[in-house]
Structure 1
Amino acid sequence: MITRRVLLGTTVALAGSAVLAGCGSPARAADPQVTVTGGAIRGEAAGKVHVFRGIPYAQPPTGENRFRSPRPVAPWRDTLNTNKFGSEFIQPAGGDPVRQEDALYANVWTPSIDGAALLPVIVYIHGGGWARGAGSLPVYDGAALAERAGAVVVNFNYRLGAFGFCGHPALEDPDTGLHTNWGLQDQIALLRWVSDNAKAFGGDPGNITLIGTSAGGASTWQLSVHPQTRPLLRRIVSISPAHVWSPYLSLTPDDATDVFDALAVAQGVPVKNLKDVPADRIRDWWVAQFALPRSQRVVKSGRQYRGPVLDPVLLPAFDVNQPMPDIPAISIYTSTEGSFFTGPKAPDPQPQPTDAASLRASFRDILEQGASSLSEVTVTDAVAAYTDSAKQDGRSTDPLSLWTELWGDALIRYDVLAFTRRAAVERRAPLYLMEYAHPVRPPYFGVPHESTSPFLFGTYAHPTNVAKFGDGPKERETSAAFMDLVAEFAHGRAPGSPRLPRWDPVGPDLRQLVLRDGAGTITTPTKARQLDVFDAVQWGK
């Protein structure tokens, strides 16, 4: 095992960091200014909050730093303007702004910087399958949440794709000894940065609530049990977490090595010289490789997504084999997670099943991504279980609906409820379970994965969101209730809202809050028979 000589985030700053734009430009009297690690920064007033965008929390991961642990920022002399978002990290082609590697920036919204009464801090980790996304997306604008919650809200970018979640021994960092999961290392560095700088924004470094959705929800869970970050956190909110395991959502360490070997061969360089290859060439090879049918890929794991790789320091075991968090947690899933993947504008569109034969093929395709072997009888039983469950509940049994249910259960719901059952038995800390059930508008359908974020942040009416999520009284009430729950939790109280019934931590009966139309009910999870399918194939075991 590699000896870790220096802990993450404690390496000395390297010389020659990128020149920071905006230093020394004229200030306006109303512009808020604070001093953070690296130097003074200037933000701007946005309604009732102050906002600082594009704050560097680590050196650009370019050149020699590409496949290394994040380095602390090099100090700057003049005041740095932080009124523009940093770039999104390089990711699959398409859309604006231009994506690039120099993207390790944080964004902060705060109601007050006077520090008279330190505020709770909410840190949010965006999702995107460990390959897409950015804190700068309009959906994650933290102004409304910061104001309503009376909290400092922070989001950020981290390394993605091949640059963030793979690994190879030839890329061992000379200072930390680490050679995997650079994106996870960025998240650790960001939490340390927040702890060091929270007071500058009026925040309490001893009262940090970590929230994430999808891949970010999985990261939230992992960081809550990681020995380097657990002491920094008071509580977590894990929303629709895609808990990693191999072969479904993670490369094995051997496969990570093999795929980087193949990448290096394709680029005509040794692995250690991949730092010199143009970033878009690495991205394009990576995307093309995993777009191939599974039988044609270089490796057999990472079948659906490529999340963190097992590593003795960064991820010593997959979530299912790690202890449960010992801090209060809220765990959230949506009613039909799968409609994000089977509905309009899906991130990776696939042909929809239209009859019994194509439905069987679609079921087989999903189950094969996690099962070591799969018989025809197992596929038949799975289709029957989902069909019968839908009939009993009065839900639709058409192929698209059944496929949608399987998608959401495989990726999210099965694991969320499995971890909830563990929490009810082990009782290490209070865990609150919520089903988010507020539907989207046609032609979208159901309650898709990632339909929570516009309501957590109050951005459902933004021009990029309103067609899907609406902007009526029910949407306003739903968002208000959701933000109330998080605000109460961040302030150290039980999550609650005047709009909702009393919500207690889960017990043996797995009681949950169902949030829809701005109102809530207390129930137990439904559609239990569907999940027996995953037990039968030892899903995630």
Structure 2
Amino acid sequence: MSNPAPVARTPAGDLRGTRETHRGRPLAVFRGVPYAEPPTGPLRFASPRPPRPWPGMRDATRYAPAFVQSGNPDSAEDALYANVWTPATTGRRPVLVYLHGGGWHVGAGSVPTFDGAKPAARGDIVVINFNYRLGAFGWGLHEDLADPDTGHCANWGLQDQLALLRWVRENAACFGGDPDAVTLCGTSAGGSSARHLAVLPEARGLFSRLITLSAPSTRAPACALTPEDATAVYEALAKECGTTVTGLRETPAARVHRAWLDFFAAPPTLRAVTSGREYRGPVRDGRTVPAYTEDLPVPAVPVMSVHNHTEGSFFTDPLSPSFPPAPPAPTDDAELLAAVHDVLLKCAARVPDGLADACVRAYRQAAADDGLPDDPRTLWTEVWGDALFRHGIVRAAERHAREGSTPQYVMEFAHPVRPPHYGTPHDATSKFLFGTHGHPLNAAQFGDSPRERLLSDTFADLVTSFVRGTAPSSPHAPAWPVFAPQEPTTMVLGGPGTARLAHTPKLRQLRFWDGPGARSQR
């Protein structure tokens, strides 16, 4: 007996997907589903428009191209498409919407790591991921690019993410999803974007739960351009391309992208602007981004906040697929001091005299107090990960515990990667949430033994139970209480055993970033 391809009937038209299975559990999968008009021509640097209806049955069996980015010759501007994994197109299941990371300049929903089959099948939920605008086309600001209909002139990638949530609200039921039970989840840049969306009035009611995985603060100068610098950058791009700022809409996308990369190619201290030193994410425009992440109100929805044990090892492991590649690791105290100084320069235009030395001393003392390694590579890795990720994440969780009115669950993901890689690097979580640690792209680093498979099952259980509206739980983990900083309420996933509760590890080294000298860097 034939098993016909699944069909989803959406307001814009009918879609034909594919039938697939995960561990014997059936799924309907729809790829390359338009959620907005292509942002090309006059719609480049414009607010996203709803997708135009199509006649007949649209094929939804192939991924759309990734948005314009380096290292992917097939990437394109016509990339605002979603991908859906669902146990069935009937019913009313909770929905997980996933925002990929990539420093706001690379990544796509089609990356094999983000295949949504496992959480959809194991948790009986609908999983949706998607592409959004990146780099020069997604994360900047210039008043000459104001949209005549909305007035927006900045953060087009964040506007895409909001448009996707609106699309989910209108279309979830067509895929067997419940539009009133949507959880927004993002990793790294995606997690920071999700945090901004959580407080936007326009997003109110579009999702009811929030999961942030290794989400950095969006504060300038480390992770964003200031409005003034963003304006200067687009004027420089226009000059480089021989046009006006508005004329950038008509310039070939590849040329705009190349000019953007060239502008930021020099070391931060040699650039014409002092912000956007490490990443170019959401610009504080007063509308889509009213404040930097740590200055935003506490989310008014239940939160799962996850960070990794050694966020920095993603950037200090020469074998890790980081971009740019890791610099040589320091081997003695003089090289360590210089390496820490370079990390501090990611967070500020100038490093006060003596601050790098104070940072090294503080981390050495914390390592001695906690019985942790204090070799140059380890200390450099810890400083890097804490400066850009862990300090802001942990302090935000503590603030939510003090000020928030909704439950919050805090996790440290601690599963070590395989040698010669080391630590638990930034973005390790996505491989285990989606069960793609064994994919050929990931297996050499993350492993695919019974231990890794159990860890992935546990992580998927914790996330999908939270998506289903309960406290996160798994048969393989202890009961997970709401986060209370003074109690052992942090779920440590991986490391010795599969899961355990503990006080948040390595708090001593975070104290350096609370001091007046370090605060001036952030």
Q: What's the TM-score bracket when you normalise by the shorter of the two chains?
A: over 0.9
Which residue of the partner structure matches residue 111 of structure 1? Answer: 87
Give the distance between the partners of 2:278 and 2:299, measured in 1 at CA: 26
Give the whole-Å Cα distance in 2 for the aligned partners of 1:322 and 1:41.
39
Q: 1-side partners of 2:106 and 2:376: how far apart?
A: 29
Q: Does the aligned pair in 1 maintain the 2:241–2:259 contact within 8 Å?
A: no
User: Offset at 1:372?
Assistant: 5.7
Matched residues in 2 for 1:165 and 1:285: separation? Answer: 15
1:196 aligned to 2:170? Answer: yes
Query: Whole-Å Cα distance in 1 between the matches of residues 258 and 335 of structure 2?
Result: 31
CA contact (8 A) 2:97 2:184 kept: yes
1:412 maps to 389
1:20: which partner in 2?
none
Contact conserved, 1:104 with 1:158, CA < 8 A, in 2?
A: yes
Partner of 1:326: 300
Deviation at 1:294, TM superposition (A): 1.9
Q: 1:148 aligns with which of 122, 136, 157?
A: 122
**1:407 and 1:220 mapped to 2: Cα distance?**
23
Q: Which runs of 5+ in 1 are unaligned?
A: 1-27
* Structure-2 separation of matches of 1:273 and 1:212: 33
1:9-408 equivalences in 2 (<5 Å): 30-47=4-21, 48-92=26-70, 94-95=71-72, 98-115=74-91, 118-343=92-317, 344=319, 345-349=321-325, 350-371=327-348, 373-408=350-385
CA offsets 1:73-130 (integer angstroms, 9 cap, x no match)? 11111210000000001112x246x111110000000001122xx1000000000000
Question: What is the DSSP-based 3-state SS (H/G/I as helix, E as strand, rest coil) of the residue aligned with 2:306?
Answer: strand
Partner amino acid for 1:52?
F
CA contact (8 A) 1:335 1:435 kept: yes
SS at match of 2:132: coil
SS at match of 2:354: helix
2:469 to 492, 514, 517: 492
TM-score by length of 1: 0.92
Q: Distance in 1 between matches of 2:385 and 2:289?
A: 25
Amino acid aligned to 1:114:
T
Report the 3-state secondary structure (helix = DSSP H, G, I; strand = E; otherwise coil) of the residue aligned with 1:72: coil
3-state SS of paired residue (1:228): helix
Matched, 1:521 2:500: yes
* Residue in 2 that maps onto 1:505: 482
What is the CA distance between 1:374 and its match in structure 2?
A: 2.7
Q: Look up the SS of the partner of 1:330 in the other structure.
A: strand
In structure 1, the residue corresponding to 2:198 is in which secondary structure?
A: helix
Equivalences, count: 510
Q: Deviations over 1:17-75 (max 9, x none)?
A: xxxxxxxxxxx851011122321110010111000000011111111111101111111
- Once the 2 structures are TM-superposed, how far is the Cα of residue 157 of structure 1 from its aligned partner? 0.3
8 A Cα contact 2:186 2:211, kept in partner: yes
| Deviation, structure 1 residue 416 | 0.8
Q: TM-score under structure 2 normalisation?
A: 0.95
User: Residue 37 of structure 1 contacts residue 73 of structure 1 at CA under 8 Å; is this kept in 2?
Assistant: no
In structure 1, distance between residues paired with 2:404 and 2:242: 53
The secondary structure found in structure 1 opposite 2:212 is strand
CA distance in 1, matches of 2:250, 2:350: 41
Residues 258-292 of structure 1: per-residue CA shift (max 9 Å, x gap): 00001101111010010111111111111121120
Cα contact 1:245–1:540 (8 A) shared by 2: no
Equivalences for residues 454-473 of structure 1 within 5 A: 454-473=431-450
Write the distance in 2 (CA, Å) between the matches of 1:474 and 1:393: 27
Give yes or no for contact 2:485–2:503 (8 Å, CA) kept in 1.
no
CA distance in 1, matches of 2:301, 2:212: 12
**Cα distance between partner residues in 2 of 1:167 and 1:521:** 44
SS in 1 for 2:445: helix
5+ residue gaps, structure 2: none
Q: Which amino acid aligns with 1:538?
A: R
**Alignment check: 8 A CA contact 2:217 2:389 kept:** yes
Matched AA of 2:511: D
Aligned 8 A contact 2:220 2:276 in 1 = yes
Q: 8 Å contact 1:441–1:469 — kept in the other structure?
A: yes
CA distance in 2, matches of 1:170, 1:283: 19
